[in-house]
Chain A
Amino acid sequence: MAISLDRQTVSIYAGAALLRLLVFVAFPDLSDFLGSQVEISTPISSFKRLQEGLFLYQHGLSPYDGGVYHQAPLLLVIFEILPSALVFVALDILNAVSLHTIANNLDIPSRRFRKLDGTLIAAAYLFNPFTILSCLGKSTSIFTNTAIIQAVFNAQSGNPLRAMFSLAIGTYLSMYPGLLLPPTLLMILKNKDQPASLASLVMSYIGALAALLSTTIILTDGFWDFLSSCYGAQLTVTDLTPNVGLWWYFFIEIFDSFRDFFIGVFWLHLVGYVGGLTFRLQSQPLFVITSLLGLFAIFKPYPSIADVSLYLGFLPMYSHILPLTRYTFIAASVLLYSTLLGPAFYHLWIYAGSGNANFFYAITLVWSLGLTILVGDTLFAVLRDEWEIERPEMKGKSVRQI
């Protein structure tokens, strides 16, 4: 990760790290408060639940007793040894550095594309309010985010085995990164620097995943408890604590006999995008990953703003398509609007008692709508960009879709 350490870069990183550490030290209550916000911590990423698991683990009990903890045991080991605030700040910095390097080395075959300044990308990530809030709220999604960024980084920089290993870590931590396997493979195979065979890559991915899963046996007694508590909870959506996603309200309301069926439908919906997008955008695997991350942030069972911060970490690398987008203003204002109103409506519902669940659910629908517009719009813009490469004479003219 060769980054030129000029003054601007250093000040950005140092500023971001200081800001976070300062809040952790000066306002420890704020961190607790943020950690209990439903937008930041979900049942599968809550630091409070992790502390519960850690307590059980440190007292020689299975961390999954009591059904509160739904995360991987590896996190317990990390937090048993290291102080939590430092880990979160360090991971944020690491993510920023990786994004910085990815951006520096990125080359997109488009005439609109200009060489990116990685420092700005890193700054956009580090000073994104969603990133800051989820770091201060100690959302453990950041581990998954790091794993995904590392996978992309290593795939790009010609380290296929490490990329596979990172993706395996992501899958081990929260399952859904496994869906990024096709575009990551595409990315590695397109990278001519380091030849690698598809079979060996898939094998190394599976091997790494198996190794990670097998560490569970060393760390805790109950392997099946781990599977059912960590992955079962995500697959069957047992905890219907409100979050910014679409699942919880739907599964509160659905007829019980159709619950299983719709869990299947929702998951397939998530899976369905992978193949289509990978085929369509073969030439730009990074954009496939970016768009998929956006879609995951909308349609995952337990999404939080940490997922959005990851998506928004990659998206600035496509700033060159900004002129081609059509609804950025709407998307941005809808996101801003729902960001501000979401906590307010949640408060009205839960604490003030003057609103009901529909208030908050409506705002999460708006939030998802905003993200959908953003994802759709950028997808369209990239397609338009591709098409312009194909037919340069049409540049700047309006087109009609047939």
Chain B
Amino acid sequence: MKPAAANSPTSAAMTTTKQPPPEKPEAVRLRTKIVLSFWAVILLLGFPTWWQTTSIYRADLPLQDMLNWAEGLNTPTSIPLHIWVSAPNLPCPDAQRIVRETQQALDDLNEYPTLHQRLYLVNWWSTGKDNKEEKGTPSTSCGENPSSPDLGDPALRVLLEPAKDGFAFELDPVIAKAVVYIPRTDANNVSKRLAENLHELFKEEQVAAALQTVALASHTQNAQAFLRSQPYDVVTRIEKQINRAYKSSSEFHLTFSLFTAGGVPSSWDVQDALSKHIQPLVQALSNTSEFDITTQIQLYSSYSPAIQPVTKEGMEGAFLQQKDLTAFVNAAEWPLAPSIGDGPTINFILYVPVQDEIPLKIDGVEGTSWLIPQWGGIQITNPPLQPDPMTGGMSLPAHLAGELLRQPFETFSSQLLSLLGVPQANQSGKLLPLQLRLDAYKRFSTLTLYLKAASSLGSLARLAQRLSNIPIQKHVAELVDDAIGNLTAAEHAFLESRWDAALIHSRIAYRDSEKAFFDKSMVGQVYFPDEHKVAVYLPLLGPIGVPLLVGLLREIKRLVVRKRGITP
């Protein structure tokens, strides 16, 4: 702003004599006006601009609220698991007594409040759909109406039946239903045994939930105490199961890839194999997550060059070292992890080696498939050689027919379940009914997403508190509000044991909290020390600030002098 510097002095008296003539009053007034006009621009426009542009925008976050969520202060103290009991063929008082006593026994067995089983006498048998052909005899309408709003989603339906001989607890092989035969004689023992059975059924799920709580929440004395009361090997097994699985997500991409080391086989009956082995699973899991399936074939794709299979005397084919299996995937050349959408990609690779190496096996193991935790499954297949009509020799088939794919895809489907974290065979090597396991997976997912969302909020709050110069945009605050709203809704759903609703809300809460934490706008301000700021402002303060300040000081001095000149 040179004129300020140049004009005001020029307008002052200029003279060749030593004593400048007195300034005219108009000139003085004019100079005052000019100085003031510059200062008006500085004060009225400059300072607001400076304030507006150099302050970092930080939207108000409900920090305390977020921290409370992360610390679990808002988490429900107990998450019940509803079990519906129906006893159409028992007298109502008996049924009520059994339910009451079993509940008591359960409470004694198990003090951990998360996924604690709660029995309800519900009249689901008589009103149950399509049961007429099963010849249900709706004799007593004992218990609540299944559509009653107080009831949540049942984790298990139990049918109590009178029995001649001893107590029996029979699970349906597929769906979440159990039939319990109650002997008329030994009434006391019945409740206890029923409770034990139920407890056993959900114990591992509770362990998994407790492990996840310990890993993700901050106030976990309860969960830790519960875990300590459980046998060590069960806990480690379940922990391993959790670690193997992908992190819960609302969307998964399944990529099935056929990599062949040579030019053949160049096609496979993948649609057929998928619809037989994978689709049913995906459909059953579809209420927990969405699944996208993609398939690809790449010819002439060799495994990573670091791997050298060995040949053995007297045995045909080649052998992979077990230690090489981690490095088998040729990440540089195989088009994996195509980053479609938000969710993670689970890879399933079917590898056909070159003809010279067939059969390619793994040294010291029988199978040819392996699983890489949190990544996917790999299967080497050695298709039978066929006579080649062109050369007369033996060669690989050009097409992998459905029969050749059956075994690999069976492996893939079991790998898929374990990669997702669907509970596996329990201690005794027994599998629970599929429906129960899928439901357990759903509940585990819900809880995980819920805990993760809460913990993300806490992370964001602590971040916002610690890094004072990180900008926080308005939409981040909106996402946080959203996440908190959904967490609250999920919490209510938990209390009512409405797992579908809880899943939906936890999923949104998780998505929003992650989006908020990983918002790309929160990288802007890198560390900028104060001495650098001075360097930035110095050019302003020097050539512009000084003349303006001097002008202002002169004006003030003149005013002071004039006042003094008048007063005495």
Q: Which residues of B contact A (CB under 8 A)?
A: 1-4, 6-7, 9-16, 20, 30, 33-34, 37-38, 40-42, 45-46, 49-50, 52-54, 524-525, 528, 536, 540, 544
Of residues 230 through 277 on chain A, the ones whose CB sits less than 8 Å from some CB of chain B are 255-258, 260-261, 263-265, 268-269, 271-273, 275-277
Q: Is the CB of B49 within 8 A of A265?
A: yes
Tell me which of A269, A280, A402 contacts B14 (CB under 8 A).
Answer: A402
Q: Is B4 within 8 A of A276, CB to CB?
A: yes
A397 CA to B15 CA, complexed, in Å? 10
CB-based contact B7/A280 at 8 Å: yes
A336 to B6 alpha-carbon distance, docked (Å) = 26
Assess whether A276 is in contact with B15, with CB atoms less than 8 Å apart: no
Residues of A within 8 A of B46 (CB): 264-265, 268
Number of residues from A at the complex interface, CB < 8 A: 33
Contacts of A263 in B (CB 8 A): 53
A402 close to B12 (CB less than 8 A) = yes
Chain B residues near A399: list those with CB within 8 A.
14-16
Kindly identify which residue among A260, A276, A400 contacts B34, using a CB–CB cutoff of 8 Å.
A276
Among A271, A276, A372, find the residue whose CB has the most chain B CB atoms closer than 10 A: A276
Q: Which of A271, A275, A376, A397 is B6 in contact with, Cβ under 8 Å?
A: A376
Cβ–Cβ contact B16 & A271, under 8 A:
no
Query: Is B38 a contact of A275 with CB atoms below 8 Å?
Result: yes
Is B9 a contact of A402 with CB atoms below 8 Å?
yes
Tell me whether A331 is interfacial, beta carbon within 8 Å. Answer: no
Q: Does A8 belong to the interface (CB within 8 Å)?
A: no
Q: Which residues of A contact B9 (CB under 8 A)?
A: 401-402
Q: What is the minimal beta-carbon distance from A273 to any residue of chain B, in angstroms?
A: 6
- Does A312 count as interface, using CB distance less than 8 angstroms? no
Check A268–B16 contact: CB distance below 8 A.
no
| A273 to B37 Cα, complex, angstroms | 9
- Give the CA-CA distance A372 to B6 in the complex, in Å: 13
- Closest Cβ of chain B to A366, distance in Å, is 18
Least distance between B411 CB and chain A CB atoms (Å): 52
A279 at the interface (CB under 8 A from B): yes
Q: B interface, by DSSP: helix, strand, loop or mixed?
A: helix
Q: CA–CA, A7 to B46, complex, Å?
A: 54
Chain A contact residues: over half helix, strand or loop, or mixed?
A: helix
How many A-B Cβ pairs are below 8 Å? Answer: 97
Complex interface: chain A residues within 8 A of B524 (CB):
256-257
The answer to the question of A387 belonging to the interface, with a C-beta cut-off of 8 Å to chain B, is yes
Alpha-carbon distance A402/B1, docked complex (angstroms): 19
Contact flag A271-B45 (CB < 8 Å), given A280-B34, A397-B16: yes
Residues of A within 8 A of B (CB): 255-258, 260-261, 263-265, 268-269, 271-273, 275-277, 279-280, 282, 372, 376, 379-380, 383, 387, 394, 397-402
Point out the residues of chain A lying under 8 angstroms from B2, CB to CB.
Answer: 372, 376
Q: How far is it, in angstroms, between the C-alpha of A394 and the C-alpha of B20 when the chains are bound? A: 13
Q: CB-nearest residue of chain B relative to A263?
A: B53
Give the complex CA separation of A380 and B15 in angstroms: 16
Taking A264-B46, A276-B7, A402-B12 as known contacts, 10 extra A-B pairs with beta carbons closer than 8 A to each other, sorted by chain A number, are A256-B524, A258-B536, A260-B54, A261-B53, A264-B52, A265-B46, A265-B49, A268-B41, A275-B38, A398-B16
Contact yes or no, B34 A265, CB < 8 A: no
C-alpha spacing A376/B16, complex, angstroms? 23
Nearest-Cβ distance from residue A193 to partner chain B, whole angstroms: 26
Chain B residue contacts of A279, Cβ below 8 A: 30, 33-34, 37
Say whether B16 contacts A379, CB under 8 Å. Answer: no
The CA of A359 and the CA of B350, in the complex, are separated in Å by 59
Q: Do A379 and B41 touch (CB < 8 A)?
A: no
Alpha-carbon separation in the docked complex, A398 to B1 (Å): 26
Contact B11 A271 (CB under 8 A): no
User: Which of chain A's residues have a CB closer than 8 A to the CB of B50?
Assistant: 261, 264
9 tightest Cβ-Cβ pairs between the two chains A and B? A275-B37, A264-B49, A260-B53, A261-B53, A399-B14, A276-B34, A279-B33, A272-B41, A261-B54
Note all chain B residues with C-beta closer than 8 A to A258.
53-54, 536
